[in-house]
Chain A
Amino acid sequence: MTPYIIALLLVFMIIGAIIALEIRDTLAAVVALAAVGIGISIAFLFMGAPDLAITQVVVEVLVLLILIRATISRDVTTIEAGRPQFVMTISVCALLILLLFSLHMVEVLPTFGLQDHMVNIGNPSFHYLSEALSETGAANIVTAILLDYRVYDTLGEVTVLFVALIGVWTVLRKKGRLRGEAVAFGQKEEDDEA
């Protein structure tokens, strides 16, 4: 049953992604992208990953807010769709060739959902599943790995997020760039600041 649900969700997500890329109204495109994200979240739920589903929903809402902040009240609908015809044709042909080769690669993988064993003995995952409760006291194994066994990984993740925050703040701040650019842009930039 689960493979059919996942396949259905994937078709839904592909349609949503194509709508998001092709529709002219940017707000509608952002909403279509959010539909793709919710589809991914539901697929995670069906594959036994509720932690991922929760995180995906939260991140999805934040991405939605950021994209709406970027596009609202900005003139973006006037851009003519697409490139010249021959560039489009060449790109789509190249993508189709890439798809053909990738489909051959997929045949090497085991059939979906039918590996020989759940978790092989000797995998790190085997140790985590069997020992996590006695070693860390957490019933949720994903949390146990995230916050105990691989806690430096999480620390690095938070560092990356912090650096990204500093980057956003540096790129978007108003103070400090006025001195350099006021000469180039003259009065217009100063009006924008006010």
Chain B
Amino acid sequence: MIYGLCLILFLVGFYGIVVKRNLIKIIMGLIIMEYAVHLFIVLVSYQRGGIVPILQEGQSISEFVQLAVDPLPQVLVLTAIIINFGITALVVAIAIRLYEKYGTFDINEIRRLRG
């Protein structure tokens, strides 16, 4: 059920990209899709009762290996979050540039003005 809810969040973002005409709303849809994918990867790697993959003082390694959640997906998602931030900044910059050139965020209007 939780995976299904995550998929619905992804599809809400997809709906924003497909249906909306406002460029800012399209960018918001893109950001929501990114969030849903990050959350999905971490959800799949989660284990019930798992502890944070940080060693506490006095904890034995063998016990820690049994209890900790998988740290590798977390590292990959951490990288993905930063890279998606770069993507978002670039997309917003292009949107601002389009606004300067055409005076609107409406993609139909931009297409019409382009001729």
Contact = CB atoms under 8 A, between A and B. Distances in A.
Interface of A: 2-3, 6-7, 10-11, 13-14, 17-18, 20-21, 26, 29-30, 33, 36-37, 40, 43-44, 47-52, 55-56, 59, 62-63, 66-67, 69-71, 74-76, 79-83, 87-88, 91-92, 95, 98-99, 102-103, 106, 109, 112-115, 118-119, 123-126, 128-130, 133, 139-142, 145-146, 150, 153-154, 157, 160-161, 163-165, 167-168, 171-172, 192
A82 B48 contact: no
Interface residues of B, dominant DSSP: helix
Contacts, number: 249
Given A20-B32, A74-B105, A154-B79, 14 more contacts: A3-B2, A29-B24, A56-B81, A63-B85, A70-B95, A75-B104, A95-B14, A95-B18, A125-B72, A129-B71, A130-B62, A153-B79, A164-B87, A171-B94
A17 B32 contact: yes
B22 A76 contact: yes
Contact of A7 (B5, B28, B35, B42): B5
Nearest to A161: B86
23 contacts: A2-B48, A10-B9, A21-B12, A21-B20, A26-B24, A36-B32, A37-B35, A48-B51, A52-B74, A63-B85, A66-B89, A67-B27, A79-B21, A79-B104, A83-B19, A92-B15, A98-B14, A109-B44, A113-B46, A113-B47, A145-B75, A161-B83, A172-B96
B71 A142 contact: yes
B47 A82 contact: no
B1 to A, nearest CB: 7
Nearest to A26: B24
B5 to A, nearest CB: 4
Given A91-B19, A146-B78, A172 B28 contact: no
Given A114-B48, A130-B61, A172 B71 contact: no
B interface, size bucket = 35 or more
- A-B pairs, 5 with minimum CB distance: A164-B86, A113-B48, A10-B5, A141-B53, A168-B93
